[in-house]
Structure 1
Amino acid sequence: MEKVKLALCQMNVIDSKEKNLKKANSMINNAVGENVDFIVLPEMFICPYSNEKFIEYAEEEKESSTLLKISQLACKNNVYILAGSIPEKDGSKLFNTSYLFDKNGEIIAKHRKMHLFDIDVKGKITFMESDVLTAGDDFTVTDTEFGKVGIGICYDIRFPELARIMAQQGALILFYPGAFNMTTGPAHWELLFKSRALDNQVYCVGVAPALNKDSSYHSFGHSIITNPWGDVITEASEKESLIISEIDLSEIKKIREELPLLKNKREDLYEIIKK
């Protein structure tokens, strides 16, 4: 299948797991009504973006009511669902973890955020995910009926080595559920998605929570799809919205033939190695 119809669920995430799940359910059902193939939820779609809430809302994978609900929705509607991310509890550790469900409701990929968001932009924003979260160590590329896809989370997109490794492993679409803020979002969000798509001649998809001014963390929103030429196919505003867009994977082969960046790498001089 070369054409894939995507649904980007830019939810307004609030301080209620029950209401957030209800909203996710509603947006998924609306997306199914548009005959989509692949639905994507935002980073931390069940809880506000704060270290305290990560602890409060954390779920163990095998006992997760959230994952069970998304699994049921994927199976019932015969659709792929990327469950943005949730705070995953594993023993004494917490991870920011994304789960990909296939059409049977089975988990076919799991990505733990590799690069934790520890920043201090003087006078604007300070956030230290590492105060409560543990970084993941695994690259995440998996097969779907559309071809291979890769998964990163938010801050992961700032590291081009990760995107290149996923592309080298055959990923045609790179998904980055994310929650850039009102400082980094306007400056870098669109630029990063265009860059990673262009660098690797793949599609890049970012899905964020909508801007909630009542929350302590203000998400930039602007869920986005960029194509292998580096163009923006679609981009939301900061408001809650469901974005439906079809991509054509045959464009990847066409562009790579016209502009053979990956073939022209000087691997006699340099290479990126996955250890």
Structure 2
Amino acid sequence: MRIAQLQLSVQEETEKNLDGLERMMEQAASEKPDLVTAGEMFTCPYVTEKFPAYAEPEGGRTWQRLSALAAAHHVYLAAGSVPERDEAGRIYNTAYVFDREGRQIAKHRKVHLFDIYLENGDGYRESATLTPGDYFTVFDTEFGRIGVLICFDIRFAEAARIEADCGAKAILVPGAFNMTTGPAHWELSFRMRAVDNQVFMIGTSDARNPDSGYTSWGHSILTDPWGRVVGQMEEQEGYMIHDIDLSMADQIRRQLPILSARRRDLYCIKTGEGVVE
């Protein structure tokens, strides 16, 4: 399975960002990727208060263009994430996945919202405008089953484990770690989740723009089921392409049976009055 990870510079206008996606997909087309990925909120600035203004319904203009691009290039398109507005007016951080014919085959709404307060003064509160998702997401391809998480979701071990338990051999993570969390935890997080669940972890970031309201770390990354970094970009706009074989997950799981050796009978708190899950 050939994966193209597109690390795009985010502009103020949605159409310019979609144009950028289209141009880079055309650049990568000669290498015939099977799956194309992009970063978190790649169609708008990553600024909480701006999300409602950019949000569109499923099936809206952005959705239609993404669907058309998947069909035109005959690829699976996991087009990062975009702000979605539902019928009740709630706003989500949503990742759509389209198949080679442009049909939507999966949709993940970010489950864990990024509300942080760091000692250096950095803070960010997605919950000010976003609603959290309430399910985890996997989808099937001819290569095998793949999961989807979004950025902060990767920090919660249960999220990746649930998707691995549901059969995922690779997990896509559109993300936008910042200049504090990125150097400290970006690579570490992808290697940890890869080792924990014996899966490929595919993290695609936005490119770094020091002049934006939120500065992304960049460094799109691919780690294998043994926890090795297969490839990692720098901070600039561009793309990288790698071939992976999802059967490697099965091979690693046979050699080092972490998942099958789990003691589910003990993974609870036992009290004198019974068992508390």
Note the residue ranges of structure 2 that are not aligned, 5 or more in a row. Answer: 269-277
The answer on whether the counterparts of 2:5 and 2:204 sit within 8 Å (CA) in structure 1 is yes
Following TM superposition, the consecutive aligned residue runs of length 4 or more in structure 1 with deviations greater than 4 angstroms are none
Which AA in structure 1 matches 2:33?
A: V
1:264 CA displacement: 1.1
Q: Could you tell me which residue of structure 1 aligns to residue 65 of structure 2?
A: 69
Question: 2: distance between equivalents of 1:182 and 1:226?
Answer: 21
The answer on whether the counterparts of 1:124 and 1:183 sit within 8 Å (CA) in structure 2 is no
TM-score by length of 2: 0.94
The answer on whether the counterparts of 1:7 and 1:39 sit within 8 Å (CA) in structure 2 is yes
Which AA in structure 2 matches 1:101?
A: F
The answer on whether the counterparts of 1:99 and 1:109 sit within 8 Å (CA) in structure 2 is yes
Q: After TM superposition, list the pairs within 5 Å mapping 1:191-206 onto structure 2.
A: 191-206=188-203
The answer on whether the counterparts of 2:49 and 2:128 sit within 8 Å (CA) in structure 1 is no
The answer on whether the counterparts of 2:177 and 2:217 sit within 8 Å (CA) in structure 1 is yes
Deviates more, 1:142-151 or 1:126-135: 142-151
The answer on whether the counterparts of 1:6 and 1:244 sit within 8 Å (CA) in structure 2 is yes
1:89 aligns with 2:85: yes
Question: 1: distance between equivalents of 2:190 and 2:121?
Answer: 23
Q: Could you tell me which residue of structure 1 aligns to residue 273 of structure 2?
A: none
1:10 aligns with 2:11: no
Rg larger in structure: 2
1:49 CA displacement: 0.2
- Give the SS at the match of 1:61: coil
1:250 CA displacement: 2.2
Which AA in structure 1 matches 2:64?
A: L
Q: Please tell me the root mean square deviation across aligned C-alpha atoms, in Å.
A: 1.0
The answer on whether the counterparts of 1:31 and 1:39 sit within 8 Å (CA) in structure 2 is no
Deviations 1:6-55 (CA, angstroms, capped at 9, x unpaired)? 00000011111121111000111122221110000111010010012211
1:247 CA displacement: 0.9
Question: 2: distance between equivalents of 1:108 and 1:263?
Answer: 29
Q: After TM superposition, list the pairs within 5 Å mapping 1:1-275 onto structure 2.
A: 4-62=1-59, 64-90=60-86, 91-270=88-267
Question: 2: distance between equivalents of 1:60 and 1:255?
Answer: 41
- Give the SS at the match of 1:229: coil
1:234 CA displacement: 0.3
Amino-acid identity (%): 51
The answer on whether the counterparts of 1:83 and 1:99 sit within 8 Å (CA) in structure 2 is yes
The answer on whether the counterparts of 2:176 and 2:218 sit within 8 Å (CA) in structure 1 is yes
Deviations 1:82-112 (CA, angstroms, capped at 9, x unpaired)? 0111000112210000000000100000000
Which AA in structure 1 matches 2:21?
A: A
- Give the SS at the match of 2:28: helix
TM-score by length of 1: 0.95
1:252 CA displacement: 1.3
